[in-house]
A and B are shown apart, each in its own frame.
Chain A
Amino acid sequence: MSEDRVYNVLIVGVGGQGIILASDVLGKVAARHGYDVKKNEIHGMAQRGGSVSSHVRFGKTVSSPIIKMGEADVLLSFEQIETLRYFPFLSVDGNVIVNDQKILPPAVFTGKQEYPPDVLERIREKVPNAVVVDGIHVAENLGNPRVVNVIFLGILSKYLDIPASTYEEVLKESLKPKLVDINLKAFHEGRALAAS
């Protein structure tokens, strides 16, 4: 990897899925590793069940906090259909990590429209090696359904060039003390899943 390389990580999902925390931890990790980091997040109206995205960019010199379309190295999506929405941001050789969860948009509540049944197929058609993990299932097995975001942070960490210990340090500083152990466990579970 060249010294001038810029890493672009796009984290997407629906309001309330812990995207801001995950992206914040990643940003701090990259900054602690010595990278110039710029990060962007969405606040306001979108948080009321809307589509949420967070861009994290790091490298030797980075000015803009948003990823240009077609340049995301990793697209981490916490919701199936949100993956498709942000596909145009993915670079030609970009990686995709998907939480196997469907959050129904309002038009689907009434049964008038259907949630597309073939989203995972469409993802794999474009990115054959896309990693799909049922995060809620893994989190429930760990004993806390709220650690889905950190499980995926663990998976994501395997695609980046920063040691796990840096993530551990930042997680310890960013979380309430009583939540540290379960989240460290979730992070390492994610890393193990990525390796398997």
Chain B
Amino acid sequence: MPSQNDSDVRFLMGNEAIGRGIIQAGCGVAAAYPGTPSSEVLQSLVRWKKELDHSIYLEWSINEKVAFEVAYGASLAGMRSVAVMKMVGLNVASDPFMSAAYLGVRGGLVVVVADDPGPHSSQTEQDSRFFSWFAKVPVLDPGTPAEALEMAVRAFEISEKYQVPVLLRPCLRVCHARQNVTLSKPAPIANVGPFEKNWTRWAAIPRFRLVLHGELNEKIEKMRLEEPESKPVPILNGSGNSIALVTSGSVSSHVRDVVASDDRLKDIDVFKVGMPFPSQADALQQIVDSHEKTLVIEETYPVLELQIMDRRKVEGRLSGAVPPQGELVPETVEDIILKSLGETPTEREAPKIKSRRPSLCAGCPHRPAFYMIKSIFDEAVYSGDIGCYTLGINMGAVDTCLCMGSSIGMAGGLARTPTASNGTQVVATIGDSTFFHSGVAALINAVHTGAPFVLVIMDNSVTAMTGGQPTPGNPYLADGSGGKPIDMERLIQGCGVDFLEVVDPYDHDAMKDALEHAKKHVFEDRNGVAVVITRRACIRAPNAEIPSQRFRIGDDCDLCMTCVKDLECPAIHYVKGERRMEIDEDLCAGCGFCVSICPSRAIELKGA
């Protein structure tokens, strides 16, 4: 590890740079829920804490709302604090987030919200800058990892100066970009003094909320005028009066490179805004007024564009010049600019290569669970959820995917319809982390109302999709220190569930029994919700148990394709020309489930 001195330079991912900025700002509490592209922020904080022997408190919270509330509580107690999440996580945390804007903060409070234009790994392309406008919270929009570090530090300063939460919004192309970043020494953990009782503020009733709303409006107007990031800053100088281009955030990096590398674009003046809300509308208007045409290129909603009052000479999303959806990658940016200038866009051919769909890993415990759900409940409606196990789509075992935890709430509704009364069964599937995140309340609701469906909780002991972060079921916390594991069975029984069985998904017969019992409990005996936990650690988890056994496909194979079509195992494939199936031993994880389900019993243990 290189020495920690003032001129230390590291090749860092954007999220690691943000983590470093949080440490350098003297932040004392960080709470997060994992979600691509934000997950590496808290993971990097774990490493910075260790490397610097720093005393920052870190937690993977149960969900984003709780993460925000933990950070907010620490702020009221005087600490600089941060909550980290992806953009759909801000939807979950929106209730406390909106209210906190009115009440304000004490220690600087930063909310890092990573956006995913594209979307590459998310449900929506929502623009968190728009959310910040809605909440009347300032937002900083970094364009590179190095800028993200600086802005993380600035966000704490602005938050403390105005006593409002500040949103730091990196897009995926900042989160997962890397560059050399210069590190500074961390400031000591800041504390503005212990909690001060004042119910008219911290527990304000509506009468005082009106006053606080007025104060918030004043703060926003003040920072719009006084903070340098609210002003558009020239980053490329053109001819000075023909074309202006206003941009912000990660897309500003593409804009800069596209304009700087093309002689046809040398007349364009490019301006960048670091704080898109509240931005200096007057300064933006001046740019528009002093140029023949102004192009606004921002990701993903027209936040700057809408703050320009007279838009008659403005082209952007509102004028249709910028596509209303999809990521603005460099070639899109080039097309937009060339078209706006009346130049012919570059012709590009895209060969039609079928997309390579992701699939559950070989040996993934979700695969046999889905297979058995499909075979026991063959005509059911499968209410799915968010995680690796959304890939149950490939096996035809996931019909819906709305948002975190929605499988259980939606199952309650799907089970109340005439089709459900006529025998269409409903089976919900959810992972352990998602269940803790937002499934528990829906389960209580289902139990209380007697909703007739089967719930399968696929407990693989980690938040797998985002890189294996710990869940509340683990006996350790984010930084590896001890935590009290939450007993899932006790939790479910505490919710009032009468039917609960726990099985190993690799165990075909036990799974079959458990699911048939659950089916009888709900759909024959007409009881309420039945819960089956399929429990086995993710094969990528630290506590994974990967069997060393390997298998071969014998002569009895009649090429029925059950193992590749229904079980969808990526370790098995058809060998063309030889009319036989083959198991790839490097990919095979030895689960042996194919042996149990092969209709012609053709798969056998190697060496047996």
Surface stretch bound by A, among B316-324, B357-365, B485-493: B357-365
A30 to chain B, nearest CB (A): 10
B143–A105 contact, CB under 8 A?
no
**B572, closest chain A residue (CB):** A109
8 Å CB contact of B351 from A42, A44, A87: A87
A83 to chain B, nearest CB (A): 10
8 Å CB contact of A45 from B11, B121, B568, B570: B121
Give A28 to B394 CA distance when docked, in angstroms. Answer: 38
B176–A84 contact, CB under 8 A?
no
- Interface assignment of A137: CB less than 8 Å from any CB of chain B: no
- Interface assignment of A38: CB less than 8 Å from any CB of chain B: yes
Give A87 to B349 CA distance when docked, in angstroms. Answer: 9
A51–B356 contact, CB under 8 A?
yes
A68–B330 contact, CB under 8 A?
yes
Residue-wise, chain B 160-178 has the 8 Å CB interface mask toward A (1 for contact) of 0000000000000100111
B574–A106 contact, CB under 8 A?
no
Q: Provide the residues of chain A in CB contact with B574, threshold 8 Å.
A: 108-111
Kindly identify, within residues 574 to 588 of chain B, every residue whose CB is under 8 Å from any CB belonging to chain A.
Answer: 574, 576
A111 to chain B, nearest CB (A): 4
- Interface assignment of A129: CB less than 8 Å from any CB of chain B: no
- Interface assignment of A64: CB less than 8 Å from any CB of chain B: yes
- Interface assignment of A49: CB less than 8 Å from any CB of chain B: yes
Q: A44-B37, A65-B253 are known contacts. Are A39 and B358 too (CB-CB below 8 A)?
A: no
Q: A27-B11, A44-B121 are known contacts. Are A64 and B256 too (CB-CB below 8 A)?
A: yes
Residue-wise, chain A 68-108 has the 8 Å CB interface mask toward B (1 for contact) of 11100000000001101101100000000000000011111
Q: A70-B346, A104-B573, A109-B574 are known contacts. Are A65 and B173 too (CB-CB below 8 A)?
A: yes
- Interface assignment of B329: CB less than 8 Å from any CB of chain A: yes
B178–A106 contact, CB under 8 A?
no
Give A46 to B388 CA distance when docked, in angstroms. Answer: 11
8 Å CB contact of A50 from B354, B357, B388, B572: B357
- Interface assignment of A156: CB less than 8 Å from any CB of chain B: no
- Interface assignment of A114: CB less than 8 Å from any CB of chain B: yes
8 Å CB contact of A66 from B260, B329, B353, B467: B329
Number of interface residues of B (CB under 8 A): 54
Q: Provide the residues of chain A in CB contact with B565, threshold 8 Å.
A: 110
Main secondary structure of the interface of A (DSSP, over half): mixed
8 Å CB contact of B254 from A27, A66, A111: A66
B351–A39 contact, CB under 8 A?
no
**B564, closest chain A residue (CB):** A109
Q: A68-B331, A111-B574 are known contacts. Are A38 and B351 too (CB-CB below 8 A)?
A: no
Give A61 to B146 CA distance when docked, in angstroms. Answer: 14
Q: Which among B252, B346, B354 has the greatest number of chain A C-beta atoms within 10 A?
A: B354
A88–B350 contact, CB under 8 A?
yes
B351–A106 contact, CB under 8 A?
no
Give A109 to B565 CA distance when docked, in angstroms. Answer: 8
- Interface assignment of A6: CB less than 8 Å from any CB of chain B: yes
- Interface assignment of B465: CB less than 8 Å from any CB of chain A: yes
- Interface assignment of B428: CB less than 8 Å from any CB of chain A: no
Give A63 to B256 CA distance when docked, in angstroms. Answer: 7
A110–B561 contact, CB under 8 A?
yes
Q: A27-B178, A39-B178 are known contacts. Are A106 and B357 too (CB-CB below 8 A)?
A: yes
Give A37 to B12 CA distance when docked, in angstroms. Answer: 11
Give A15 to B331 CA distance when docked, in angstroms. Answer: 25
- Interface assignment of B16: CB less than 8 Å from any CB of chain A: no
Give A85 to B177 CA distance when docked, in angstroms. Answer: 22
B361–A106 contact, CB under 8 A?
no
On chain A, which size bracket covers the interface? 35 or more
8 Å CB contact of B177 from A31, A36, A38, A114: A38
Q: Provide the residues of chain B in CB contact with A166, threshold 8 Å.
A: none
Q: Provide the residues of chain A in CB contact with B573, threshold 8 Å.
A: 104, 108-109
Q: Provide the residues of chain B in CB contact with A109, threshold 8 Å.
A: 564, 570, 572-574
Give A69 to B351 CA distance when docked, in angstroms. Answer: 13
Q: A85-B353, A106-B568 are known contacts. Are A44 and B253 too (CB-CB below 8 A)?
A: no
Q: Provide the residues of chain A in CB contact with B576, threshold 8 Å.
A: 111, 114
Q: Provide the residues of chain B in CB contact with A70, threshold 8 Å.
A: 331, 346, 348
Kindly identify, within residues 1 to 55 of chain A, every residue whose CB is under 8 Å from any CB belonging to chain B.
Answer: 6, 14-15, 24, 27-28, 31, 36-51
Q: Provide the residues of chain A in CB contact with B572, threshold 8 Å.
A: 109
8 Å CB contact of A49 from B356, B466, B467: B356
B122 to chain A, nearest CB (A): 9
**B579, closest chain A residue (CB):** A111
Give A48 to B389 CA distance when docked, in angstroms. Answer: 11
- Interface assignment of A138: CB less than 8 Å from any CB of chain B: no
Give A106 to B261 CA distance when docked, in angstroms. Answer: 41
Q: A42-B176, A44-B36, A68-B331 are known contacts. Are A110 and B564 too (CB-CB below 8 A)?
A: yes
Q: Provide the residues of chain A in CB contact with B561, threshold 8 Å.
A: 110-111
Residue-wise, chain B 247-277 has the 8 Å CB interface mask toward A (1 for contact) of 0000011101110110000000000000000
Give A37 to B178 CA distance when docked, in angstroms. Answer: 8
8 Å CB contact of B359 from A28, A37, A49, A114: A49
**A170, closest chain B residue (CB):** B11
Q: A49-B359, A68-B334, A106-B394 are known contacts. Are A84 and B351 too (CB-CB below 8 A)?
A: yes
8 Å CB contact of B356 from A14, A64, A88: A14
Q: A64-B253, A109-B573, A111-B574 are known contacts. Are A44 and B466 too (CB-CB below 8 A)?
A: yes
Give A108 to B348 CA distance when docked, in angstroms. Answer: 28
8 Å CB contact of B360 from A38, A39, A48, A82: A48
- Interface assignment of B144: CB less than 8 Å from any CB of chain A: yes
Give A24 to B11 CA distance when docked, in angstroms. Answer: 9
8 Å CB contact of A106 from B11, B359, B465: B359
Give A162 to B350 CA distance when docked, in angstroms. Answer: 32
8 Å CB contact of B465 from A45, A63, A87: A45
- Interface assignment of B62: CB less than 8 Å from any CB of chain A: no
Q: Provide the residues of chain B in CB contact with A31, threshold 8 Å.
A: 11, 179-180
Give A51 to B353 CA distance when docked, in angstroms. Answer: 11
**B252, closest chain A residue (CB):** A63
- Interface assignment of B422: CB less than 8 Å from any CB of chain A: no
Q: Provide the residues of chain B in CB contact with A88, threshold 8 Å.
A: 348-351
Kindly identify, within residues 327 to 351 of chain B, every residue whose CB is under 8 Å from any CB belonging to chain A.
Answer: 329-331, 334, 346, 348-351
Q: Which among A38, A84, A85, A88 has the greatest number of chain B C-beta atoms within 10 A?
A: A38
Residue-wise, chain B 444-472 has the 8 Å CB interface mask toward A (1 for contact) of 00000000000000000000011100000
**A108, closest chain B residue (CB):** B573
- Interface assignment of B120: CB less than 8 Å from any CB of chain A: yes
Q: Which 7 A-B pairs have the closest CB atoms?
A: A68-B330, A111-B574, A65-B177, A44-B121, A44-B36, A50-B358, A63-B253
15 other contacts beyond A63-B252, A105-B354, with CB at 8 A cut-off?
Answer: A14-B356, A45-B465, A48-B360, A49-B358, A62-B257, A63-B144, A63-B253, A63-B257, A64-B173, A64-B330, A65-B173, A65-B253, A106-B570, A109-B572, A110-B564
